[in-house]
Chains A and B, each alone.
Chain A
Amino acid sequence: MTRDEFALAVERYADMIFRVAYSALRRREDAEDVMQDVLLKLYRADRPFDSEEHRKAWLIRVAVNESRKAARRYRRAAPLEELPETAAFDRSEDRELFLAVMALPEKYRTAVYLHYYEGYSVREVAALTGSRESTVQTRLARARELLRKALEEV
């Protein structure tokens, strides 16, 4: 991979990887570390991909794995009240949704992010996270229920 190709990959995927890691870790510094690790893996791997979608899926899988490792390594998460400073919100309802998602248990957050933001199907989320489809379905259903309650209370 050339420097230019790497720079393009950073531009295209850094934020996506950061969001995957942030969904798991809830701390900017740790998520940026994971983002850097994952993109360096891409650079060092210098491997072929069938398509851009294939590369994206590979990066998400590595991001999920690296986030799990980081979660074991750091064992810490930012307090919920600090989280809004991480992202810019145009509307208060977006801030509420962000806080509600981040208040979910970690195992729900990644599935919710991949399904609702990245648009992956349940089957694809299962493949990306190394989970069973039924597990992902359950997590999404439970997450929806928790989010509905949380947003009703706001």
Chain B
Amino acid sequence: MERERFRRTFSGLEASPQAKEALLHMIDENTNHTRRGMRRAARLAVLAAATVCLLTATALAASGSLRAAVMHLLFPRYGQGELVEIGEGHRTGSFDRTDVLNTFLERFDREGLGDGVTVRMADGFHKTVLEESEDAAAVAVETSDPALRLEVYLERVDYEDTTGLWQVTGYRIVEEGTE
């Protein structure tokens, strides 16, 4: 097939200017009037909270190596074998919110926050749910440094006939007093 012909054909397919402008209006109006009403607004509240959080100014969060080390943990790809097992009902509980969050925290801890800071305490992880809805959540996790906390953002992804697979979509290391 001629790729150039294909490109020419589909380049004429564009979203309307009105639809694009409407997006900016939503942002300008603080997105309280988005298309799906309250559910969307609730989810936005979760992430608006994230928006005002500042990345810690410490070398910890500024460290490129840390971010690089952790990035690959944030958007895990489910292995085909795992998906098959889930689809066949053999992995009940896998990829639920708690399972995914704990897996993320375990790996995050192994990567090391630097300066001996950890997220695992002697009695496990200290988690506080900041916001939650049926398909999004924000969770704060204490670290061994009282001045630092980790905030983790999760979303649920639909998958076949399961109740969905949760995944971590982002994180922030927040320094107390910087918000």
Residues in A neighbouring B130, C-beta threshold 8 A: none
Q: Does B158 contact A (CB under 8 A)?
A: yes
Q: Which of B1, B5, B34, B75 contacts A40 (CB 8 A)?
A: B34
Residues in A neighbouring B77, C-beta threshold 8 A: 127
Tally of B interface residues using CB under 8 Å: 43
Give the residues from 9 to 56 in chain B that come closer than 8 angstroms, CB to CB, to chain A: 9-10, 12-16, 19-20, 22-24, 26-28, 31, 34-35, 40, 43-44, 46-48, 50-51
Q: Complex Cα distance A28/B19, Å?
A: 10
A10 touches B20 (CB 8 A): yes
B13 touches A44 (CB 8 A): no
A126 to chain B, nearest CB (A): 10
A50 touches B26 (CB 8 A): no
A89 touches B12 (CB 8 A): yes
Residues in B neighbouring A65, C-beta threshold 8 A: 157-158
Tally of A interface residues using CB under 8 Å: 52
Residues in A neighbouring B5, C-beta threshold 8 A: 93-94, 97
B170 to chain A, nearest CB (A): 4
A36 touches B19 (CB 8 A): yes
A35 touches B19 (CB 8 A): yes
Q: Does B153 contact A (CB under 8 A)?
A: yes
Closest to A119 in B: B3
